[in-house]
Amino acid sequence: MKKTVLTLMIGFFLMGSAEANNPFFETYKNKYGAPPFDQIKNEHYMPGFTAGIKQQQAEIDAIANSKKAPTFANTIQALDFSGDLLKKVSSVFFNLYSAETNEQMAVIANDISPVLSEHNDNIYLNEKIFARIKKLYDNRAKLGLTAEQIRLLERYHRNFIRSGAALNPAQKEKLRAINKELGLAELAFGQNVLDETNSYKKVVDKESDLAGLPQSVRQAAAEAAKADKQEGKWLFTTQKASFIPVLQYSENRELRKDLLTAYSKRGDNNNSKDNKSIINKIMKLRTQRAQLLGFATSADFILDDTMAKTPKNVYNFLQSVWEPAVSKAKEEAIELQKMMDKEGKGEKIEAWDWWYYSEKLRKEKYDLDEELLKPYFKLENVRQGVFDLASKLFGLKFKKLSNMPVYHPDVEVFEVTDATNALIGILYTDYFPRAGKRGGAWMNNITDQYKKEGINHRPIICNVGNFTKPTASAPSLLNMDEVETLFHEFGHALHGLLTQCSYPTQSGTNVSRDFVEFPSQIMENWCWEPQIMKTYARHYKTGEVMPKELMAKIQLAGTFNQGFINTELLAASLLDMDYHTIKDTADFDVTAFEDASMKRIGLIPQIIPRYRSTYFNHIFSGGGYSAGYYSYTWAAVLDADAFDAFKQSGDIYNPKLATSLRKNVLERGDSEDPMKLYRKFRGANPKPDALLKKRGLK
C-alpha cells in the first residue's frame, strides 16, 4: 500500500479516537485564542482536516438547501463565516509547513491537497449556492447594503465565476481534475526546492580558501560545520545568510562561483528533484484552466482581478522601468570591469563577481563598508526600531509574552495594543533559517480579524525570515538587505494587525496581489531615515548610536547598485509574465524558454534573474504571485509616491498623514477598490516619477 494512501486511511481511522485529545477539537484556552503549538502533533492534522471539511460541507449544504429566499445574511455572510474548524486546522498546518516542516508533514500535505481541492470545488461549483449569489448580485442595488457588503457580494459572485460556476457539467469535471493535479504539482515544486536547498553543502577545509571573509562569517561557517559533525572545517550552504557574505567578501573566485552556481541551479540538476518537467505540467494545467474559463492565457485570467487588469498593461509598465534600469546596470558593469582590470588578471566580470566588486566599489566611492555597519544592526534592536516606529505613527504598544506556546524555540510572541490599551492583535516573530523552513521571508495569518455578534475578533500574525543567525560570540547582526526585509515584512504585519473589517474574506492582507505590497514597501522608506536609525542603530557591545558620519554615508549610497538591484528584480518579473502568457499547452524546453526570455529583454550576462525558473517559488509553488511578481515594482510606485507625501510635509512622522494611511489603507483591507483607498489617503493618483527618482534611475 502506498504511504500517502496509508496516511489518509489512518487519518480517517484516528478521527474518532483522537477527537477527545485533539487540540483542534477544543477551544484554545489562552486568552488570545492562539494555537497550543506545544500540544499539536502530526497525528492531529488529518482528523482535524477531515472533521473540518465535514463541518463546512454541512454548513454549505444548509445554505444551498435553504427554503428561505436568499439574503445577504443567510447566503453571503453565512458563506464567509463558514468553515471555522477547517480554517483553524489549515492555518496552523500551512504556517508550519512553510516554517517548520518535516517528512511526515510533507506526506500529509500531499494527501490533503487533492482533498482540499475537491472540497473547494464542491463549494464553488455548487449550482444552488451560485443561483442564490447570482440572484443577490443581480438585485444588489435594491438590497440596502453597505458599501462593504456590496463589495463582498461582488467578490463572491466574481470568485464563483472565476472558479467555474458558470461552466457546463463536463467542463466542471475537467476543471476539478485540473485543480487536483495542479495542487499536487505546486506542492512537489516547493518540496524539491527545499530539498535541493537543504542537500547542498560546500565544505572548505583550508583556511587559506577563506581569504577576505570577515571573522563573523568564518565563525558562522565553522559553527555550521561543527553542527554537521565536520569540526575544524567551514561549511556554506545555499541559504542567503550563508552564501551572500561569501559573494561580497571572498577573494576566492572559485568559491564564489561554486556557491552562486549551486544556488542558481536548484531544481535544475537533472536529478529526482529537478523541476523542469513540473514547470511544464504547471503551465500546461494553468493554461488549460484559463482557456476553460474563457481567457486566452493564464495571465489574462489572473490579471483580470487585479489593479493592472491586463498583461499588456503589466508589460508596458515593466518596460518603462526596465529600460532605465538595464541602462544603469550596463554603466555599473563597465565600472566594475574597470575595477577588475586594475588587478591585471585579464578576467571578465561574471555573475559571481558582481557582489564582490560592487562591495569594493561602494567602499571606494562612499567609504562605506557593510561589515562595519552590521554591529549596529542587532536583530532585536532593529525589531524594536520598527516597534517604535509603529508606536510613533499609529500609537501601538508591543509587550513580549513569555508564557505563550511556540512551534520552535526561535519564535517570540508579542501582544500588540493601542494607545487606549485595547488589544490590536498578537505578533509571532521567527527569524532564523533551519532545515524545516523554506527560504525567503513572509507574513502569515494564524487567525483572521473579523466582527461577529458584536465582537471584534483580533488577528494573530506571524512574521518569518531567514536572517543571519547568532554565533557563540555575537548576536544576530543584520546586513542592510536584512534590515530592509525586516521592515518590509513588518509592514505586512501592520496591514494584518490594524485591519478593522467586518468579514474575514476582506480583512487584512486579503487584497489585490498588486496592492498587497504597498503597506509593506512603504515601511522600507523609513528604515534609513536618520531620525529612525537613531532609535535602533546602536552598537551591540557599547550601545552607542551609529555615528552621524556613517548614517550620512548610507544616505549618499542610497542609489548605489540600483541598476543591478532593479534589473534582477524586473528580469524575474518579465520571466513570470512570459510563462503566464503562454497559449500553447505543448511541452517546451524550460532552459531554452528562460534563455529566450532573457535574450528578448536584453538582460546582460553579468546578471541573472532574482529567481530562475526552477526555484521560482513565488510563481510555481502556490505562493500567489503567478503573473504577479511585477507587484513588487507596481507597489513601489505607490510606496515612493506615498512616502514622498511625508517627506514633502517636512515631518516623516506626520500625524495627519499617518492617521490617513491607517484609516484609509491599513484598516480597510479589501472593503473598497484599492485605487480608491489610495486616492483617499494621497488625494490623487500615484506619480511614477517618484520611484525612478528614488532609485536613481532618472
Extract the C-alpha cell encoding 413: 510572541
Cα distance between residue 582 and residue 284, in whole Å: 9
For the residues of 72-108, what is the DSSP string, one character each? IIIIIIHHHT--HHHHHHHHHHHHHHHHS--HHHHHH
Cα distance between residue 141 and residue 130, in whole Å: 18
Strand-strand pairing, 460-464 and 423-430: parallel
Cα distance between residue 616 and residue 626, in whole Å: 10
> Which candidate in 181, 370, 489, 517 is catalytic?
489
Extract the C-alpha cell encoding 63: 445554505
Inter-CA distances, 412 with 23, 48, 381, 404, Å: 21, 26, 14, 9
For the residues of 524-543, what is the DSSP string, one character each? HHHHT-HHHHHHH-B-TTT-
Given a contact cutoff of 8 angstroms between Cβ atoms, the answer to whether 192 and 278 are in contact is: yes
Which residue from 11, 14, 132, 33 is spatially nearest to 76, judged by alpha carbons? 132
Cα distance between residue 282 and residue 613, in whole Å: 12
Cα distance between residue 12 and residue 49, in whole Å: 10
Given a contact cutoff of 8 angstroms between Cβ atoms, the answer to whether 325 and 636 are in contact is: no
Which of left, alpha, beta for 233 (phi over 0: left; psi -120 to 50: alpha)? beta
Instruction: Decide if 482 is catalytic.
Output: no
Phi/psi of residue 677, each to 5°?
-60, -45
- Name, in order, each residue with C-beta under 8 angstroms of 612's C-beta and a sequence gap of 6 or more: 264, 268, 594
Cα distance between residue 532 and residue 535, in whole Å: 5
Continuous H helices in 272-350: 276-292, 298-303, 311-341
- Name, in order, each residue with C-beta under 8 angstroms of 485's C-beta and a sequence gap of 6 or more: 441, 465, 467
Continuous H helices in 200-252: 215-227, 240-249
Inter-CA distances, 142 with 137, 160, 527, Å: 10, 22, 48
Write the DSSP symbol of residue 477. B
Cα distance between residue 267 and residue 280, in whole Å: 13
Amino acid identity of residue 100, one-letter, is E
Phi/psi of residue 452, each to 5°?
-150, 130
Amino acid identity of residue 94, one-letter, is F
State whether residue 668 is helix, strand or coil.
Answer: coil
Active site amino acids: 489
